[in-house]
Every structure is written in structure tokens, then in C-alpha cells.
């Protein structure tokens, strides 16, 4: 096991989205992270483009700052970020400054509408291209979850060819999201198409908690220790430092 894990997708900032609800639970989540060997966490609350207005966005920033101070006292580094909901209002949010990248880097965590068939969201590639034109590098969050009936490898390979990075969830690798999603995640990892594994923490109990060590072991079994170290430590460090991955 590496000396430390870094979790770049976590809804640990409390009472700003559907993630952690209270300050007490946020502290508990930090304790769980520390016990699991997680030394760095990127706070990535949902920014729902067209719904998250300037006031709500400022509240997110203030809450993240408060979380960072608490985490620092506990010996865990928390970084700023967001999970940007790439809907029809996405570009307007960018124009209005209602967005965050990971640790103020060029890397932006984005997601699509999980309730829709991804093949019928017509603007995805156009908006991804626009991000590159603006100097950002999109990281597609929990990519395996967008294909509930099985991977569309042509679509995934197209994103990779564009230069997108792909993140998968610990819960998917562990089978907590169902067998199809687990097969998707395992296939992507086996073929070394994934750049990051993250917790996507929403709770302090159940499956969606601050934990990565079990998924790390799964990746080792599917591939090798070098690749696992890359997904859980080296690539996250490169992104936080805004270096080229």
C-alpha cells in the first residue's frame, strides 16, 4: 500500500448539496479518511449549472474554507473543487464565473445527467471541446455509471482521444452500484483506461464513505501495484499541482 491516498472526488463539505449534512459528520468523515490512509481530499460539491446561483456558490466557497481549517487541525489536507453538472446551462455558468476546478488547476471534474440515456445528450462533445478551447482539461466523473446496460467503448475511447481524463468510483469497483456498473469499472481498469479512483463520499455510514484502501486492493488484483499507485496517489498529485498528466 502506498504511504498515502488522495481522494479527488468527495462531497465532504457539509450542508451544501446532497452529500454530508452536518459539521459533526464532516469531522467524522475526516476521521474515517485519516484511519484509511487518505491524506488529501478534494471537496467537490455539486454545482448545478442554471440552479446554483452566485449566492449559493459563495456559500459553497465559504463552507469549503471552513472545512479546510478543520481538516488542517486534524492532519488532513482539503483542497477546493466542484463536480460541475454539464447540462444545457453549463457554458453560461462558466461565463458567469460559477465554477471551480480542482485546487484552482486546469483540471475540471464534470458529470452528465445520470437519469438520461447518455447517447441522447447531444451537446456533450461540443461542451467538452469548449473546455479544451478555454484551457481546461475535463475529468469525467464516475464514467462507468453512465452506461447502465454496458459500456459503449466507442464513446469512451472518443473521450480519451479528445484528451479527457476518466475517474471511477470506489463503490463501483466494489460492486455496491450493481453488477453491470462493476463490470464496466473493472473493464476500464483492466484496460488501463482510468486515470483516477475516488470515493465520491456522501455519507459517514453505508457504502459511500471516505475509504479507498479496499478499492486499491481490487485495482492491484485487476492490474498491478504500479498502476494502482498511479490512480490513488501519483495522478492525483499531478492534478493538484497543475502539472501535465
Domain 5-240 sits in which CATH superfamily? Metal-dependent hydrolases (3.20.20.140)
Asked if 54 and 74 count as a contact pair (C-beta separation under 8 A), the reply is no
Phi-psi region of 117 (alpha: psi -120 to 50; beta: other; left: phi over 0): beta
Q: Where are the domains of the chain?
A: 5-240
Q: What is the pTM of this model?
A: 0.98
| Rounded Cα–Cα distance for residues 68 and 14 (Å) | 12
If we measure between CA atoms, which residue out of 98, 109, 186 comes closest to residue 147? 186
How high is the mean pLDDT of the chain?
97
Q: Summarize pLDDT for 155-191 with one digit per residue, the tens.
A: 999 999 999 999 999 999 999 999 999 999 999 999 9
C-alpha cell read off for 2: 502506498
Q: What is the pLDDT of residue 1?
A: 47
Amino acid at each position: 500500500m502506498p504511504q498515502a491516498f488522495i481522494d479527488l472526488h468527495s462531497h465532504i463539505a457539509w450542508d451544501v448539496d446532497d452529500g454530508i449534512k452536518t459539521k459533526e459528520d464532516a469531522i467524522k468523515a475526516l476521521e474515517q479518511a485519516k484511519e484509511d490512509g487518505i491524506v488529501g481530499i478534494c471537496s467537490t460539491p455539486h454545482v448545478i449549472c442554471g440552479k446554483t446561483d452566485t449566492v449559493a456558490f459563495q456559500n459553497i466557497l465559504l463552507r469549503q474554507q471552513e472545512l479546510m481549517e478543520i481538516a488542517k487541525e486534524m492532519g488532513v489536507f482539503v483542497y477546493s473543487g466542484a463536480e460541475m453538472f454539464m447540462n444545457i446551462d453549463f457554458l453560461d455558468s462558466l461565463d458567469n464565473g460559477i465554477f471551480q476546478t480542482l485546487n484552482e488547476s486546469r483540471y475540471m471534474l464534470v458529470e452528465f445527467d445520470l437519469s438520461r440515456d447518455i447517447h441522447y445528450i447531444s451537446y456533450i462533445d461540443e461542451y467538452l471541446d469548449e473546455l479544451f478551447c478555454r484551457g481546461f482539461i475535463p475529468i469525467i466523473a464516475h464514467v462507468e455509471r453512465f452506461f447502465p446496460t454496458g459500456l459503449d467503448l466507442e464513446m469512451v475511447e472518443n473521450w480519451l482521444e479528445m484528451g479527457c481524463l476518466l475517474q471511477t468510483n470506489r463503490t463501483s469497483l466494489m460492486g455496491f452500484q450493481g453488477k453491470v456498473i462493476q463490470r464496466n469499472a473493472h473493464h476500464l481498469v483492466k484496460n488501463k483506461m482510468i486515470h483516477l479512483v475516488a470515493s465520491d463520499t456522501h455519507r459517514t455510514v453505508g457504502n459511500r464513505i471516505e475509504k479507498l484502501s479496499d478499492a486499491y486492493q481490487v485495482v492491484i488484483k485487476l492490474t498491478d501495484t504500479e498502476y494502482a499507485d498511479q490512480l490513488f496517489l501519483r495522478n492525483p498529485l499531478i492534478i493538484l499541482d497543475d502539472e501535465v498528466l
